[in-house]
Structure 1
Amino acid sequence: MNISVQYSHITVNDTDASLAFYRDALGFDVHNDVGSGGQRWVTLGSDVQPGLEIVLSEPYAGRSQSDGDALQVLLTKGVLPLINLATDDLDGLFEKVRAAGAEVLQEPIEQPWGPRDCAFRDPSGNTVRISQARA
């Protein structure tokens, strides 16, 4: 029996601004852009990991009013789980994302536990860490 991760959800306030960040700055491809009942879900992926997609959606997409309200509070506080990405060119990707105007939380540094990494906030305030394994 095999099991794998298929979707990872990221809650965002502005789907279009977040799409520009994840697609244009980070380089993910849009796989699907679906609207229903005034809500929208966008899935993005990479040829490097076929079958794994990031889903961008706003707090109320597919949720009750009270659940959306609770999620919006957490998103506004910036305390939702972060996303960790990996690259083979940390410096190049860092410069591309910084040039796109993303808020830099940490410039690339060597971590004592192994990787070299950096961190940004996406347009909704989610933390995005990007790492590169040591050679």
Structure 2
Amino acid sequence: MNISIHYAFLPHTDPDASLRFYRDALGFEVRNDVGYENMRWITVGPEGQPDTSIVLHPPAVDPGVSDAERSVILDLMAKGSYGALTLATVDLDGFFEKLEAAGAEVVQEPIDQDYGVRDCAFRDPSGNLIRVNQR
């Protein structure tokens, strides 16, 4: 079986701030930017990897989600407990410096973890946890 990850979904609360983070700070290319009423779905991905994308979407837009559920989701996002993504790079320290200089919210500076991974962590503008591993 040959299978790959095509799309991953992360919620966003501010499409313009999300673009500044994913496009400008991370260097992802914008593959799609679609609006409907006051909502936007933005698809981004790493250059040279057209088959792997992240869809940044409005949170809890499903009509079956109640106002109470929507409130819980927004609260979890604000705490950084709802969405998460792990990226990888060959130059973790350089990547960290670039994101820190771009104003990204640092959660953890680069560190050698006890379980054998060197990584760091940030939050995107919507609170999603973004971990970055040294490749």
Note whether the superposition's TM-score is higher than 0.5.
yes
Place the TM-score, normalised by the shorter chain, in its bin: 0.7 to 0.9
- Cα displacement (A) at 1:37: 3.2
Within 2, Cα distance between the matches of 1:11 and 1:81? 7
CA contact (8 A) 1:6 1:53 kept: yes
Task: Extract unaligned runs of 5+ from structure 2.
Answer: none
SS state of the match for residue 35, structure 1?
Answer: strand
SS state of the match for residue 3, structure 2?
Answer: coil
SS state of the match for residue 2, structure 1?
Answer: coil
CA contact (8 A) 2:11 2:56 kept: yes
- Cα displacement (A) at 1:60: 4.2
Q: What is aligned with 1:12?
A: 12
- Cα displacement (A) at 1:57: 1.3
Matched, 1:34 2:26: no
SS state of the match for residue 99, structure 2?
Answer: helix
Q: What is aligned with 1:57?
A: 57
Within 1, Cα distance between the matches of 2:75 and 2:35? 23
Within 2, Cα distance between the matches of 1:73 and 1:81? 12
- Cα displacement (A) at 1:16: 0.7
Q: What is aligned with 2:91?
A: 89
Within 1, Cα distance between the matches of 2:83 and 2:77? 10
CA contact (8 A) 1:60 1:69 kept: no
SS state of the match for residue 82, structure 2?
Answer: coil
SS state of the match for residue 27, structure 1?
Answer: coil
Task: Extract unaligned runs of 5+ from structure 1.
Answer: none
When normalised by structure 1's length, the TM-score is 0.88
Within 1, Cα distance between the matches of 2:4 and 2:71? 31
Q: What is aligned with 1:131?
A: 133
> How many residues are aligned here?
132
When normalised by structure 2's length, the TM-score is 0.88
SS state of the match for residue 98, structure 2?
Answer: helix
- Please report the RMSD computed on the Cα atoms of aligned residues, expressed in angstroms: 1.7
Q: Name which of structure 1's ranges 42-51 and 117-126 shifts more when overlaid on structure 2.
A: 42-51
Q: Percent identity?
A: 55
